[in-house]
């Protein structure tokens, strides 16, 4: 029975996230449409939801082309890396107290490691394309990683201090006692939210693919399903970051009893995803140097202050 459950969870995660990413493509465009006083894609199927399937068919039917000037092996490897890393990241997400693939005692570190690995995909893609726009995209991604990776980890340390564990299930259970960490760790939440957007290359921090400046940035040379993998990775990252925000700061599966934990988890994740899309709809992209100075001069001090205050409170109160 235990054995069966873990398989159910693994395949559920796999299909759930893939389907979620596909539907998100449609959902995001629809929501952006609503917020920009348009309708968004509404032709294929009810509410246009068939767009998700149509998009996938289109991507599969496209020519799978590797440019002759590209570094062939790295070029093909890069898009798979992001999907692999993001899917591995899902391994530690606790959907409920029982439903999770791996209950690692360093779950949080594992998650941070996997999202960091995903950045290599962008770097390698930009490098292997042998294209100046792609290279610039990869370069920006490297700079973004350097400036965001540091306090993305540090912002979570306050939570770890309170909980005394890197295990994500413990973190959620601790929120049953202490209340959601979004209240006690508000600074940490803000920093992690912003770092999470930067990590998953979502607007407003989509500098590596800034389409107005760099054509498509690191995936300029990609087409067909290789491009599809990058898109899939991006949306998987969006879902992953949202579910981590929920797990760490909004009490994961916790909620009033009239709905099961899994539903609460899904509902909260959905709301955070909507918030990410709202960010995309409203906030312009900062300049490259603005992003760096914002990261180092504002976010890092904020994180350190948060860390110090949390430590002091835990030590002396």
Partner 1 sequence: MKQLIDIVWSQLVTLYQVLLHTFTKADTVQYPEEMPYLAPRYRGRIVLTRDPDGNERCVACNLCAVACPVDCIALQKTEDEDGRWYPEFFRINFSRCIMCGMCEEACPTYSIQLTPDFEMCEYDRQNMVYEKEHLLIDGPGKYPGYSFYHIAGKAIKDKDKGEARNEAQPIDVKSLLP
Structural tokens at position 280: 């995309």
Query: Smallest gap, in angstroms, from Cβ of residue 195 to partner 1?
Result: 16
- Of the candidates 231, 236, 215, 25, the residue with the CA atom closest to the CA atom of residue 129: 215
Binding to partner 1 by residue 279, rule CB under 8 A?
yes
Question: Do 208 and 126 meet the contact criterion of CB atoms below 8 Å apart?
Answer: yes
Among 56, 281, 288, 296, binds partner 1 (CB under 8 A): 281
- Near partner 1 by CB under 8 A: residue from 10, 18, 23, 35: 35
**Range 286-305, binding partner 1 (CB under 8 A):** 298
Residue 34 vs 309, nearer CB to partner 1: 34
Judged by beta carbon, residue 117 or residue 281, the one nearer partner 1 is 281
CB of 57 to partner 1, least distance (A): 24
Please give the residues from 37 up to 56 whose contact with partner 1 meets the rule CB under 8 A.
37-39
List the one residue from 183, 278, 304, 305 that touches partner 1 (CB under 8 A). 278
* Concatenated DSSP letters of the chain: -HHHHHHHHHHHHHHHHHHHHHHHHHHHHHHHHHHTTS--S--SSGGGTTHHHHHHHHHHHS-----TTS-HHHHHHHHHHHHHHHHHHHTT--SSSS--S---TTHHHHHHHHHHHHHHHHHHHHHHTT-HHHHHHHHHHHHHHHHHHHHHHHHHHHHHHHHT---HHHHHHHHHHH--HHHHTHHHHHHHHHHHHHHTT-TTS-GGG-HHHHTTGGGTT--HHHHHHHHHHHHHHHHHHHHHHHHHHS-TT---TTS-HHHHHHHHHHHHHHHHHHHHHH-PPPPHHHHHHHIIIIIHHHHHHHHHHHHHHHHH-
Nearer to partner 1, 133 or 205 (CB): 205
Of the candidates 70, 74, 19, 61, which has an alpha carbon nearest to the alpha carbon of residue 225?
A: 61
Q: Does 34 bind partner 1 (CB under 8 A)?
A: yes
Beta carbon of residue 308, minimum distance to partner 1 (angstroms, whole number): 19
Total residues binding partner 1 (CB under 8 A): 13
Q: Which of 176, 183, 271, 283 binds partner 1 (CB under 8 A)?
A: 283
Report the distance separating Cα 9 and Cα 12, nearest Å.
Answer: 5
Q: Interacting stretch for partner 1, rule CB under 8 A, among 28-36, 52-60, 119-127, 245-253?
A: 28-36
| Interaction residues for partner 1, span 128-167 (CB under 8 A) | none
73: how many CB neighbours lie within 10 A of its CB?
Answer: 11
56-85 positions binding partner 1, by CB under 8 A: none
- Shortest Cβ 31–partner 1 spacing (Å): 9
**Least separation in angstroms between CB 61 and partner 1:** 24
Nearer to partner 1, 38 or 58 (CB): 38
When asked if residue 224 is in the footprint of partner 1 (CB under 8 A), the reply is: no
Q: Closer CB to partner 1, residue 6 or residue 271?
A: 271
**Min dist. Cβ of residue 290 to partner 1 (A):** 10
We find the least distance from the C-beta atom of residue 33 to partner 1, in angstroms, to be 7
Residue ranges binding partner 1 (CB under 8 A): 33-39, 278-279, 281-283, 298
């Amino acid at each position: 029975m235990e054995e069966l459950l873990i398989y159910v969870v693994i395949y559920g995660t796999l299909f759930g996230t893939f389907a979620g990413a596909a539907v998100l493509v449609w959902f995001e465009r629809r929501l952006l449409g609503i917020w920009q006083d348009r309708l968004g894609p509404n032709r294929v199927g009810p509410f246009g939801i068939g767009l998700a399937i149509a998009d996938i068919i289109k991507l599969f039917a496209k020519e799978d082309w590797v440019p002759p000037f590209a570094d062939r092996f790295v070029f093909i490897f890069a898009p798979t890396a992001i999907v692999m890393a993001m899917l591995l990241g899902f391994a530690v997400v606790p959907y409920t107290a029982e439903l999770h693939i791996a209950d690692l005692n360093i779950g949080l570190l594992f998650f941070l490691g996997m999202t960091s690995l995903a950045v290599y995909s962008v770097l390698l893609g930009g490098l292997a394309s042998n294209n100046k726009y792609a290279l610039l995209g990869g370069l920006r991604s490297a700079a973004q990683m350097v400036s965001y990776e540091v306090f993305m980890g540090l912002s979570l340390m306050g939570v770890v201090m309170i909980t005394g564990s890197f295990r994500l299930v413990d973190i959620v259970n601790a929120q049953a006692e202490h209340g959601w960490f979004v209240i006690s760790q508000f600074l940490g939440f803000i920093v992690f939210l912003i770092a999470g957007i930067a990590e998953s290359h979502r607007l407003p921090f989509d500098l590596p693919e800034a389409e107005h400046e760099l054509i498509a940035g690191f995936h300029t040379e990609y087409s067909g399903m290789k491009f599809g993998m990058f898109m899939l990775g991006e949306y998987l990252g969006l879902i992953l970051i949202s579910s981590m925000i929920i797990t760490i700061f909004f009490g994961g599966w916790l909620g009033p009893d009239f709905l099961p934990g899994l539903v609460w988890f899904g509902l909260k994740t959905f709301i955070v995803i909507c918030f990410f899309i709202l960010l995309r709809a409203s906030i312009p992209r900062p300049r490259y140097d603005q992003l760096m100075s914002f990261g180092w001069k504002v976010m890092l001090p904020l994180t350190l202050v948060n860390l110090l205050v949390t430590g002091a409170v835990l030590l002396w109160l």
